[in-house]
Amino acid sequence: MILKARNIYKSYRHLANTLDVLKGIDISLEDGEAVSIVGPSGAGKTTLLHILGGLDNPDEGEVFIDGENIYSMREADRAAVRNRKIGFVFQFYHLLDEFTALENVLLPAVIKSNKDGIGELREKGLALLARVGLKDRAGHKPQELSGGEQQRVAIARALVNEPRIILCDEPTGNLDSKSGEEIMSLLFELNKRNKQALIIVTHEQEIARLSHRTVHMKDGRLVTPEAL
99-121 pLDDT per residue, tens: 999 999 999 988 877 655 677 88
Residue span of the structural domain in which 111 resides = 3-227
pTM of the model: 0.90
Considering only 20-24, 173-177, 217-221, which range has the smallest mean pLDDT? 173-177
Q: What is the mean pLDDT of the chain?
A: 91
Considering only 90-99, 113-122, 163-172, 187-196, which range has the smallest mean pLDDT? 113-122
Which percentage of the chain shows pLDDT scores above 70? 97
Whichever domain contains 159, its CATH number is 3.40.50.300
**23-45 per-residue burial string, b: 16 or more CB within 10 A, e: under 16:** eebebebeeebbbbbbbeeebbb
pLDDT digits (tens, 9 = 90+) for 41-93: 889 999 999 999 999 999 999 999 999 999 999 999 999 999 999 999 988 88
Domains of the chain: total = 1
3-state SS track over the chain: CCEEEEEEEEEEEECCEEEEEEEEEEEEECCCCEEEEECCCCCCHHHHHHHHCCCCCCCEEEEEECCEEHHHCCHHHHHHHHHHHEEEECCCCCCCCCCCHHHHHHHHHHHHHCCCCHHHHHHHHHHHHHHCCCHHHCCCCHHHCCHHHHHHHHHHHHHCCCCCEEEEECCCCCCCHHHHHHHHHHHHHHHHHHCCEEEEECCCHHHHHHCCEEEEEECCEEECHHHC
